[in-house]
């Protein structure tokens, strides 16, 4: 009897932990508000939301990398122009 009661208590705590985590996901994931959303839907939408976030992050990294490369190239071009102008100024001074 004691063993059975202990098991019931452990299972109750486990379910309470799972329910608590699912409720937290419900508050974090868009379009999961309301009492009509079941736990399976919350978990599915959370996984979908994480996939979307990862895709957006990858797209942003790609975009920022391209922008950085273009900015570095423009900076190098401008530095070369400045150096050429300095040399021209030095020639004119001589």
Q: What is the mean pLDDT of each run of 10 residues along the chain (94 residues)?
A: 94 96 93 82 94 97 97 97 96 92
Say if CB 26 and CB 33 are below 8 A apart.
Answer: yes
Q: What is the pTM of this model?
A: 0.69
Q: What per-residue confidence (pLDDT) applies to 31?
A: 84
Q: Which domains does the chain have, with CATH numbers?
A: 1-93 (4.10.280.10)
Residues whose CB falls within 8 Å of the CB of residue 37, separated by 6 or more in sequence, listed in order = 26
Instruction: In whole angstroms, give the CA distance from residue 7 to residue 39.
Output: 24
Instruction: In whole angstroms, give the CA distance from residue 16 to residue 24.
Output: 12
Q: What per-residue confidence (pLDDT) applies to 36?
A: 76
Q: What per-residue confidence (pLDDT) applies to 33?
A: 81
């Amino acid at each position: 009897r004691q063993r059975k009661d202990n098991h019931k208590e452990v299972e109750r705590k486990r379910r309470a932990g799972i329910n608590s985590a699912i409720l937290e996901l419900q508050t974090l994931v868009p379009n999961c508000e309301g009492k009509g959303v079941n736990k399976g839907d919350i978990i599915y939408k959370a996984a979908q939301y994480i996939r979307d976030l990862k895709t957006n992050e990858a797209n942003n990294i790609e975009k920022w990398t391209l922008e950085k490369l273009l900015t570095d190239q423009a900076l190098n071009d401008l530095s070369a122009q400045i150096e050429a102008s300095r040399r021209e100024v030095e020639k004119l001074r001589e």
